[in-house]
Amino acid sequence: MSTIARPRDVTRPAAQGAENAYRTRLLAIILSATFFSVMNSNMVNTALPTLMADFHIGITTSIWLYTGYTLPYAVSMPLLGQLGERVGAKRVFLVGVVAFLASSLLCSAAWSFPSLLGFRVLQALGAAAVIPNAMVLITAAFPPNQRGRALGLWSATSGIAVGVGPTLGGVLTQFVSWHAIFWVNAPFLLAIALGGARAIRPLPTVAGRGRFDLPGSALLIIGIGALMIALTVGQTDGWGAPQTLVLFLIAAAGLAIFLAWEPRIPGALLPIALFRRRAYAAATATGFLQAVVMFGLMLLLPIYLQSARGHTPTEAGLMILPLSAALVVVAPVAGLLSDRFGPLLPTASGMLLVTVGMVGFAQLTLGSPYLALAVILLVTGAGIALSISPVTSTVMNAAQRQERGRASGFFNLLRFLGAVVGSTVLSVVLTGRSAAALPTIHVSDPHLAQLLAVVHGFHDAYLVGAAIGFAGFLTALLLRPGYPTSMPASPADTLVDLRAGRTAGGPR
């Protein structure tokens, strides 16, 4: 008896191939946008001495060039994440790219310090529109079992940008001009904007959830803004200065009123339900502590290598490269591990390696060989890389589709706040412990005594960093996957979910 051969279903492999091609195009666009936005912020730091000379400003004034970028960047991410939910993540992402492009050109043409500061604020707003909405676009395009890998590549791209930025910024400033660090981005950003407009699929928007949370936005800006300014002013004017204390009081009042206001309205800027979910709460806490250690370390290392060991800025930058190299290599692997085993194993292992690395830094002396430093840098970089993408994917998996913009925005805000807190806390420990150690050192050479006191301060600062890293290890032990285990009935359902802007297996 003959059988009738069924026609082979070629639609599913073709659809899956088209989906994979879209994901590749999307990642290329998003990774490029992330690279240039992160790289540019690091390039500016290298050019600060030249900018100070050209605009005839002192170091106290130049600090506001950093604060004028970081403050609007941090506080506007949740706002622009929510805006992406309302009008579309693609639209806000592309507007951010165009705004970053236009403001970069304006920065390159700045004629005074106030004009440069104003254009940097616009540049920060453009970058703040890019980052949270980029995470939303990646989350919508990739199913849960592939998100870790995609976000690992995203983390590795940021690591490359952090490593390349200072070097390229120094070369352009020295051999072209400081203007070049801004206009060099323009052709690439234009290509990203044009390519993204054609290639990125629009996602469904959230409607009918109340008005945009303007009071909550204002309270958040006041609270976080006052806190970040207080952390900056406290380092220059003193922590007990009246203006510092007033800023801390304003920050506390603003944030307290913000937290009391948010549960009262529909469509709040801060979805309180997010932080009631164990996955999101544990991931954001771990991300915050990780940022405290990572950015505090990135502040201490150049100072240690230049002030204590006598290396030039260029030498110091090259010596730190093992940390960036480890991050670039390990971050994609961490994503694969997270997709296969869940976020707990790579994140907890990573934070434990970070803790070990910080303890290792505390053992360095004036005569320690570079090989010892390189090994510690590799261990620490691997630890940071192991924990970044699993935490990020957990955050996005824990959020429902209509919350992803705000979930991404608040996660990035808290990480950025962790960076500011880490830089402040470890620098205060370094300064205070160095000053306290100096009278206890009895050597005939005053310069050597000063160096030994500084090394003592570094030891204590690194140990504080190790304690914070261990706290991150403990919060990482609470991590669980942020999405249900149920999956769609068939691959076709997955494709339908993706095209509708929903992620297979994610919260509905």
Give the model confidence (pLDDT) of 485-500 as tens digits: 333 333 333 333 434 3
Nearest-5° Cα angle at 126, 124 to 128:
70
Count the alpha carbons within 13 Å of 414 in the hemisphere toward its beta carbon.
21
The pLDDT value recorded for residue 486 is: 35
Cβ-based neighbours of 64, under 8 Å, separated by 6 or more: 117
CA distance 235 to 218: 26
Cβ-based neighbours of 506, under 8 Å, separated by 6 or more: 139, 144, 397, 400, 401, 483, 484
pLDDT at 501 over 70: no
**Radius of gyration (C-alpha) of the chain in whole angstroms:** 24
- DSSP track, 79-104: HHHHHHHHH-HHHHHHHHHHHHHHHH
Q: Strand (E) positions, 329-444? A: none
**Residues 488, 504: contact at Cβ < 8 Å?**
yes
**Residue of 384 and 491 predicted with greater confidence:** 384
CA distance 476 to 279: 10
Indicate the pTM of the whole model: 0.78
**Beta-carbon count within 10 A of 176 CB:** 12
Give the model confidence (pLDDT) of 414-430 as tens digits: 888 888 888 788 888 88
- Mean of the pLDDT values across residues 434-440? 78
Cβ-based neighbours of 80, under 8 Å, separated by 6 or more: 92, 96, 125, 128, 129, 132, 133, 405, 409
The pLDDT value recorded for residue 350 is: 93
pLDDT at 138 over 80: yes
Distances (CA, A) of 211 to 75, 214, 265, 458: 20, 8, 9, 50
Give the model confidence (pLDDT) of 46-80 as tens digits: 677 777 778 887 766 766 777 778 778 888 888 88
The pLDDT value recorded for residue 371 is: 92
Give the model confidence (pLDDT) of 284-341 as tens digits: 999 999 988 987 887 788 778 877 777 776 677 778 888 878 887 888 888 888 878 8
The pLDDT value recorded for residue 69 is: 80
The pLDDT value recorded for residue 493 is: 31
What angle do helix axes 370-398 and 344-361 make, rounded to 10 degrees? Answer: 150
Cβ-based neighbours of 280, under 8 Å, separated by 6 or more: 274, 394, 395, 398, 399, 407, 482
**Residue of 349 and 402 predicted with greater confidence:** 349
**Residue of 228 and 486 predicted with greater confidence:** 228
- Mean of the pLDDT values across residues 261-287? 82
Q: Computed from CA positions of residues 253, 258, 263, 265, in that sequence, does the dihedral angle turn out positive or negative?
A: positive
**Residue of 5 and 475 predicted with greater confidence:** 475
What value does the mean pLDDT of the chain take? Answer: 80
The pLDDT value recorded for residue 505 is: 35
Percent of the chain with pLDDT over 90: 16
CA distance 221 to 75: 6
Stretch among 93-107, 251-265, 435-449, 482-496 having the lowest mean pLDDT: 482-496
Nearest-5° Cα angle at 273, 394 to 263:
145
CA distance 248 to 271: 25
Q: Computed from CA positions of residues 332, 333, 339, 344, in that sequence, does the dihedral angle turn out positive or negative?
A: negative
pLDDT at 432 over 90: no
- Mean of the pLDDT values across residues 125-152? 84
The pLDDT value recorded for residue 506 is: 38
pLDDT at 213 over 80: no
**Residues 91, 204: contact at Cβ < 8 Å?**
no
The secondary structure element, H or E, covering residue 113 is helix 113-141
Q: What are phi and psi of 58, to 5 degrees?
A: -95, 180
Residue 410 one-letter amino acid? F
**Beta-carbon count within 10 A of 322 CB:** 20
**Residues 264, 285: contact at Cβ < 8 Å?**
no
The pLDDT value recorded for residue 246 is: 93
**Residues 504, 144: contact at Cβ < 8 Å?**
yes
